[in-house]
Structure 1
Amino acid sequence: MGGASVVIVGAGPRGTSVMERLLAQFAALRATAQGADRTLDIHLVDPFPPGPGHVWRTGQSRLYLMNTQAFFPTLVPDQGVEAPPLAGCSFEQWRRAQRTAPDATLSLADRTELAALAATGFPSRALYGRYLSWCFAQLLQAKPDGVTLTHHATVAKRVARGQGNGGFDVVLQDGGRLPADSVVLALGHVESKLSPTQRELHDQARTHGLSYFPPAVPNDVDWDLIPAGENVLVRGMGLNFFDVLGQLTEGRGGRFEPTGRGAGDALAYLPSGAEPVIVGASRRGTPYRGKAELASYYPASVELRFLTEDALAGLGATAGFDHDIWPLLHRDTLWAYYSTLARNGSGAVPAGFLGELDEVLHSGLDGDGLAWADRLSSLVGAHIAVGQRLDLPGLARPLSRYPIRPGETHRFSSQAQLDAAVLEYLSDDAAGSFRGEADPVKMAIGALNAGRAVIKSLVADDGITAESWMGELRGWFEAFVEGLASGPPALRMEQLAALVRAGVVHFAGPDPVFRIEHGVFSVSSPWVAGHPWASRHLVEALAPANTVNGSDSVLLNSLLEDGLVRPRVMLAADGEAVVTSGMDVSGPPYQPLDGAGTPVPGLYVLGLQLSSVQWGTAIAAQANAEYRSGFRTVLDADAIAAAILARH
């Protein structure tokens, strides 16, 4: 027994989580006779402050919101681990404490936000960063005897195997070198190469003197480069889209005011005159759906009766998504929808329907899927009006319900008609969000979201085949459920509707085609008649691509060149070898496999680079999580800490 040295590359939430687990486990070890004389040197390498790291910097705009409510995240574990935390608490506990006894480090903006923030509200990323800073400071104060902790405000360029001493040498951009027994890669978002299409637009833009904004962390972008009054094309209408909107509207002095009317039309936008004309474009043609207003992360009225962890445990390690998993989740989604429709007072569900539906849903579980589907169709067709039936494909592609009129070649004959259709979608979706537990569509989406948590555990436990992972789960379901269940707060949908009514935002239509024509960017849609939108400015409203092989990170590329890591290769259904986005790693604690396919002793990975073995890599654990996947980040950090301390 002796000393150990650890370098954690990346000091954002995941790297801080590993540090927290190391401190907690080391304290427990020091309390034993065998560990009383041990020492531990921890080095954090990150050019940004420990805790917030890059994404959660405390000085960023308050218009950048988290995508989870205040009651959700925690850096400090509340279940699933043996060693209790030495300091810190959940974000919600911190929020309540700071409202009554504010920490001296809080800014006026922090205090103002906290005064108005409820447990069900969506904090700004800056405020979450302040929480992470506070947690780090608390952990620093509570570190046990025998621990030294050093932050190196620089970039790690290379992790090389140690010369003759085992372990590693971590080479820093500032010229320093850190010898280490163990290294943890908690890199988060790293620089990425542009896709071929993006590269072509980027290069042509330079030729024509246009402004091309590649995928980026929104807080890294200088939004002042987009001039007032000019068109700006924005590709992507997921979460980053709303970040772009905020900076180009409220961020330029515009403001929203209540109208006194109902949900879906609750806000009016008063322009400042400094806004550009914003044109949103995405494959669906509409933004992600907004989150329901709920008092809990998963709806209280939704219970998974079919897609349970017990049911999946019986499938073994050869589960297929389409064959084994989706039929169960589909049943839960149907029940969530129609049971909500029955109790919301609309009168759309006749007496006795739910009993018959329950019988149908419990049939066909022996694999007779066709008979089950036929019975369901007959039952719903006989008792539920067409406009009240659950249409899952229609939820994902809402503009497809607009038919092509006889004699026309487009679904939308004008830009005004398209904008009106999207505005109707936004207003309806916002109204549904504010109905919360009473809205059948939002409860169906709630079931999908809960099912996603169960599936994440199945994937992390290696319980799904590679063919199904690539061709089914990530082939169609991922994009489907992301657009429904990973959207912004309902407030953002209300604000976007107000921006459309004010003429500040327009839409390009589904399946957009981007080009550079006549020296400017253009975007058109086969769904919409009329001239393409043209602009000198194009924003990619996307996060940088998370691909190990497509990274622009000096560190990741050196790891690949040195043979310390490799991307994971999977076999598709046709037998073709496919290079996936993430690293090839062992089981937990995740160690990268080297060029020969051997786990690298003492080297560990946590976070985004695990995208080929985990479906969805959370930035934080969920406080009081209902599902195991909700505290997976903590479990992974805990396993890494245990492996590090067991080596010495």
Structure 2
Amino acid sequence: MVRGGAMRVAVVGGGPRGASAVERLLANWAAVHSSEHDAGHPPRRDPRLGGNPPTRAGQPRPERLEITVFDPYEPGPGRVWRTEQPRLFLMNTQSFYPTVIPSEPGLAPPLAGGSFDQWRAAQRAAIEDGCCGLTGQERAEVESLGPDGFPPRALYGRYLADTWSALLAAAPPGVEVEHVPHEVVRLGRTPHGFALTLGDGPSDAVHAREADAVVLAVGHIPAQLGREQRALAEAAGTLGLAYFPPAAPADVDWDRVPAGETVLVRGMGLNFFDVMVQLTQGRGGTFTDDGDRLAYVPSGREPRIVAASRRGLPYRGKAELGAYYAPSVQLRWLTREAALAPRRAGIEPSFDADLWPLLHRDALWAYYSTLARVEAESVAPGFLDRFAAALALEGPGWEPEASRVVRDGVVRARRLDLRALAAPLAGWHARDRAELDARVLACLDEDAAGSARGEDDPVKMAVAALHRGRAVLKEAVADGGITEESWAAGLRGWFEGLVEGLASGPPALRIRQLAALMRAGVVSTVGPEPRFGLERTGPGAPCFTAASPWVGGPEVRARCLVEALAPVNRVGQADSALVTGLLADGLARPRFLAGADGTPRPSSGFDVTAPPYRALDVNGQTVEGLYVLGLQLSAVQWGTAIAAEAHPFAAPGEAHDGAPYPSGQRTLRDADAIARHILGLP
């Protein structure tokens, strides 16, 4: 509700998504309200609107826009990208990839800022001109960073901070932006809008603010511990052990991890590599390159790291490419047209039956076509033609026929098993952990070599097809694009784990570093399907224990356990006063999805309307004015944690598999839709 001529908007969360919401509010306000008084021109209008800018029926036009961003941390970087975090923590995407400023045509033009890579190039030019405002550390990082390098997360935070400052400087007349460095701990409705209760801590409420509209852009939030984790944490407190629960690596006091002692680390995904580098290179160790592989020179202050994960191996490293998508891999079956055809026909497809078979074909073709190109001796003459014909068959018969063609035309050692790529230790028994580590090290060396081969590696190109297909799937499955059962059991059930382990891995450098640490005896592993426990009495007790049923020999014993797992992104398990309060007050609810047995179960995110996403209350009614943006949309969008992709868009209607995918800037489009709805624009 507009009162006193002003629209008051609260943005809860000042990280990249909160900054995007503010950027879109400013851009859309300026597109409609900005005027050129000094030239005597009438107000400039958004060309899409024509004539006088309309509003939705019954909504008065605000004369002023008052935006308040609530976040204890600096707006732009927020908590995750704050600039004072360790410089060793790297982004998982290359410089050319991320942005908080949209480039999609048809949106209100940005008032300031650009992509990270544009910022990086501008800083390099400023350094050359001698007028750079970066710190010495930041200058060194910018000077050594190319468009295909992986930036430190703190440097990306500096880009976000600079972009925020540029947005404030470009704010149009009639708009005020305020940052309140407090956490919102409660949100309630009032007769005129919303009341936000603020606090310095979880139970230290200090004052309240009011708003006409609220954008929830809270990003990563703490999660309640699971039952086993709670038991370990409680026992650690009583037995004098060190237990580190799941957390963002930048939030952990790594000095508390003892040097020279065995430390169990559970989880070998992206957070693991941050733990690994902080406890080794971060303690003075150094990596040297002899031209063939890396070697590690310990400082003597490292712990002995023993890593464990369900698969027994880390995520695979990224292929070394100069592009986000491998140029040689084009989707032939899971095209945008094919993936969106069921929705356009009014059909709700199944992921397993309708979409996966298309992407499976693309991954197989990427692998075998690359194999035939780089290892012609591994395939029989005419193999690719027969294989293409098998993949082109309609119906379920394509898969057995393709398998027959592969069996007859490819040497056994070079046949692809996609599922086995993600779990190469499955079904294999090791006599002891020494034999296990030798096998793990061989896998790491093979993976690093494949990354170095780039587009000449068949395995990496199969993964590249999955990676490209993921961009198509994001668009196809969003907002009820597939059945609820296949969302839960297929996409989120088995496929998500497969594609994350293969296509969401770290820079290849991290794989080479891990291999060097294993050769140096600093890191070892537990094995697949590890089981964790506590030993309270006996020699060396109390301690944590870990063992794998697939590995012989004694269990691992340690007095320190680090959970290298990201906090669970489920609103129902949030350890957040704001989120739990929204659920308890009935102002929001989790989205329920039907499982295979037809029983509805709570999913990970909030239940929301169609875009622009507004929360649904406990009764399923729309909470007008309460918008959801980002990670808490995970029940209606897939891959919400990935940053927006910087790229020039094709003209509307011309997107194809060689052009940028619309899903790349979906989060920025969501922010734009929310901003326009708040401002009453169609």
TM-score scaled by length of structure 2: 0.90
SS in 2 for 1:190: coil
Deviations 1:11-36 (A, max 9, x none): 00000000000000000110345589
Partner of 1:428: 446
Query: Which residue matches 2:497?
Result: 479
- Give me the whole-angstrom Cα distance separating, in 1, the residues matched to 2:375 and 2:483: 43
Q: Match of 1:533?
A: 556
Which residue pairs with 2:125 in the alignment? 100
For residue 425 of structure 1, report the CA deviation from its aligned partner. 0.3
Equivalent of residue 672 in structure 2, options 625, 628, 638: 638
- Paired amino acid for 2:418: L
Cα distance in 2, alignment partners of residues 598 and 497 from structure 1: 54
8 Å CA contact 1:13–1:619 kept in 2: the answer is no
Equivalent residue, structure 1, for 2:48: none
Change (3 A) 1:56 1:584: same
Partner of 2:232: 201
Query: What does residue 158 of structure 1 align with?
Result: 186
| Structure 1 residues 645 and 346, CA gap change in structure 2 (3 angstroms) | same
The alpha-carbon deviation at position 461 of structure 1 amounts to: 3.7
1:620 CA drift (Å): 2.5
Counterpart Cα distance in 2 of 1:314 and 1:599: 30
Shift of 1:559: 1.0
Aligned-partner SS, 1:347: helix
User: How far is the alpha carbon of 1:349 from its aligned partner?
Assistant: 2.4
Residue 301 of structure 1 pairs with residue 319 of structure 2: no
Cα distance between partner residues in 2 of 1:214 and 1:113 = 31
Quick one: distance in 2 between partners of 1:619 and 1:50? 19
Shift of 1:52: 0.1
2:401 is aligned to: 375
Q: What is the deviation of 1:497?
A: 0.3
Deviation at 1:375, TM superposition (A): 1.3
What is aligned with 2:619? 596
Q: Offset at 1:104? A: 4.5
By how many angstroms is 1:259 displaced? 1.6
Letter in 1 for 2:676: A
1:202-241 mapped onto 2 (5 Å cutoff): 202-241=233-272
CA contact (8 A) 2:311 2:426 kept: no
Q: Which residue of 2 aligns with 1:54?
A: 79
- Alignment of 1:258 with 2:289, yes or no, is yes
Equivalent residue in structure 1 for 2:472, among 448, 451, 454 = 454
Q: 1:144 to 1:385 in 2, by over 3 A?
A: same
Give the whole-Å Cα distance in 1 for the aligned partners of 2:173 and 2:593: 46
Instruction: Give the deviation of 1:352 after TM superposition.
Output: 1.5
How far apart, CA to CA, are the structure 2 residues paired with 1:81 and 1:487?
Answer: 34
Using the TM superposition, give the Cα deviation of residue 38 of structure 1 relative to its aligned residue in structure 2, in angstroms.
2.4
Residue 605 of structure 2 aligns with which residue? 582
Identity among equivalent positions (%) equals: 55
1:361 aligns with 2:397: no
In 2, the alpha carbon distance for the partners of 1:547 and 1:195 equals 12
2:406 pairs with 1:387: no
What SS does the corresponding residue of 2:113 show, helix, strand or coil? coil
Q: Which moved more, 1:392-401 or 1:72-81?
A: 392-401
Q: What letter corresponds to residue 27 of structure 1 in structure 2?
A: A
Shift of 1:346: 5.0
CA distance in 2, matches of 1:497, 1:310: 42
C-alpha separation in 2, matches of 1:117 and 1:21: 29
Flag the 1:418–1:8 CA change in 2: closer, same or farther, 3 A. same
Of the structure 1 ranges 305-314 and 500-509, higher mean CA displacement relative to structure 2 is found in 305-314
Cα distance between partner residues in 2 of 1:281 and 1:81: 48
Per-residue Cα deviation, 1:373-426 (whole angstroms, up to 9, x for no partner): 221121111110111111112201111374xxxxxxxx1112111000000000
> What is the Cα deviation at residue 618 of structure 1?
3.5
Computed over aligned residues only, the root mean square deviation of the Cα atoms, in angstroms, reads: 1.5
Unaligned runs of 5+ in 2: 34-43, 46-51, 55-60, 201-205, 650-659
2:14 paired residue number: 11
Report the alpha carbon displacement of residue 647 of structure 1 after superposing the two structures with TM: 7.6
Would the aligned equivalents of 1:58 and 1:130 in 2 still touch at CA under 8 Å?
A: yes
Cα deviation, residue 299, structure 1: 0.4
Q: Match of 2:342, SS?
A: coil
Cα distance, 1:605 vs structure 2: 0.5
The amino acid that maps onto 2:360 is: H
| Distance across 1 between alignment mates of 2:294 and 2:359 | 36
The 2-side partners of 1:171 and 1:240 are apart by 33
User: 1: CA distance between counterparts of 2:283 and 2:168?
Assistant: 39
Q: Who is 1:608 aligned against?
A: 631
| Structure 2 counterpart of 1:113 | 141
In structure 2, the partner of 1:444 is: 462
CA contact (8 A) 2:107 2:672 kept: no
The DSSP-based 3-state class of the residue aligned with 1:177 is strand
- Measure, in 2, the Cα distance between the counterparts of 1:255 and 1:466: 49
Contact 2:391/2:399 (8 A) holds in 1: no
CA distance in 2, matches of 1:361, 1:281: 38
Q: 1:347 to 1:512 in 2, by over 3 A?
A: same
For the pair 1:290 / 2:321, whether they are aligned, the reply is: no
Distance 1:381 1:345 in 2: 17
The TM-score, its normalising length taken from structure 1, stands at 0.95
Shift of 1:372: 1.7
What is the one-letter code of the residue matched to 2:153? R
Residues of 1 paired with 2:486 and 2:179: CA distance?
42
Conserved? CA contact 2:87–2:152, under 8 Å: yes
User: Pairwise mapping of residues 501-520 of structure 1 onto structure 2 (< 5 A)?
Assistant: 501-517=519-535, 518=537, 519-520=542-543
- 2:222 & 2:324 partners in 1: Cα distance? 32
SS of the aligned residue for 1:51 comes to coil
Deviation at 1:474, TM superposition (A): 1.0
Aligned AA (1:117)? L
Moved more, 239-248 or 562-571: 562-571
1:418 aligned to which of 436, 442, 466: 436
Aligned partner (choices 516, 525, 533) of residue 498 of structure 1 = 516
Instruction: Assess if the C-alpha contact under 8 Å between 1:14 and 1:619 holds in 2.
Output: no
How many equivalent pairs are there?
A: 630
Name whichever of 598-607 and 337-346 sits farther off. Answer: 337-346
Amino acid at match of 1:358: A
**Displacement after TM superposition at 1:351 (Å):** 2.9
8 Å contact kept, 1:80–1:635: no
CA distance in 2, matches of 1:324, 1:357: 21
* Per-residue Cα deviation, 1:242-273 (whole angstroms, up to 9, x for no partner): 00001100000000001222xxxx10000000
Deviation string 1:124-160 (CA, Å, 9 cap, x unpaired) is 0000000000100110110100000100001111111
Q: Tell me, yes or no, if the aligned pair for 1:234 and 1:279 is still in contact at 8 Å.
A: yes
Task: Quote the offset at 1:172 in angstroms.
Answer: 1.2
Q: Deviation per CA, 1:149-191, whole angstroms, max 9, x where unpaired?
A: 10000111111112x32x1111111523221110000001112
Kindly indicate whether the alpha-carbon contact (under 8 Å) linking 1:81 and 1:638 is maintained by their aligned counterparts in 2: no
Q: How big is the shift at 1:44?
A: 0.3
Deviations 1:610-639 (A, max 9, x none): 111111103521011711111111111001
Flag the 1:554–1:80 CA change in 2: closer, same or farther, 3 A.
Answer: farther
2:483 matched to 1:465? yes
After TM superposition, the structure 1 stretch with the greater mean CA deviation from structure 2, 373-382 or 333-342, is 373-382
Q: Contact between 1:47 and 1:152, CA under 8 Å: does it hold in 2?
A: yes
Matched, 1:75 2:100: yes
Contact 1:589–1:640 (CA<8 Å) still a contact in 2? Answer: yes
SS of alignment partner, residue 75 of structure 2: coil
Alignment-mate amino acid for residue 586 of structure 1: T
Alpha-carbon distance in 2 for matches of 1:412, 1:189 = 38
Residue matched to 2:58: none
